[in-house]
Amino acid sequence: MIRRIEPRDVDAAVGLVYELALYEKAPEQCHLTSEQLHTALFGERPALFGHVAEVDGQVVGIALWFLNFSTWDGVHGVYLEDLYVTPDQRGNGLGKKLLQALAQECVEQNYTRLQWWVLNWNEPSIGFYKSLGAIPMDEWTTMRVTGAALSALASAD
């Protein structure tokens, strides 16, 4: 079953985010807490949304996403931050169903795009995404400012 995330799912979702960080070979970079995720999803001004895949009452997959905006199209889109299905449930169509739920969100809201990142080494996921019609945007370079560089930029004259 694919459904919108509910407050009762937060702890399970945090656990899956940590599993994803381990899969992506960066567990030391994951610091998410249940309180943080709960506030982001269900706080006064939610900026994060989510869907879960549930099998036999257990959350076994997540899609966490937020809205972006295309100035060229003049409308919002969906940016998928995390998509993860537990290894024992892969191959059962849950990843595709989670992406279908986000595509439906886009169509229903007249959003013009659904996008996400995938690590270059993650060939199984890249193949899966391409099979759904996703196109690599490899002419773009992702840029990021964090930590000390972020602080320095914020305080620059």
Among the options 18, 23, 79, 129, which is catalytic? 129
| Total number of domains constituting the chain | 1
Residues contacting residue 132 through CB under 8 Å, at least 6 positions apart: 96, 99
CATH number where 60 lies? 3.40.630.30
Give CA–CA dist 143/156, Å, rounded: 19
DSSP 9: G
CB contact at 8 A, 19 and 60? no
Can you give the pTM of this predicted structure?
0.93
- Residue 115's Cα: distance from chain center in Å? 9
pLDDT score at 79:
97
Q: For the chain, how many residues are written? A: 157
User: For residue 64, what pLDDT is reported?
Assistant: 98
| 46 Rama sector, left if φ>0, alpha if ψ -120 to 50, beta otherwise | beta
pLDDT in tens, 24-63: 999 999 999 999 999 999 999 999 999 999 999 999 999 9
Token match 């024992």: residue?
A: 88
**Does residue 129 have an active-site annotation?**
yes
The boundaries of the domain holding residue 17 are: 2-155
Q: What is the rounded distance in angstroms from the CA atom of residue 49 to the CA atom of residue 54?
A: 17
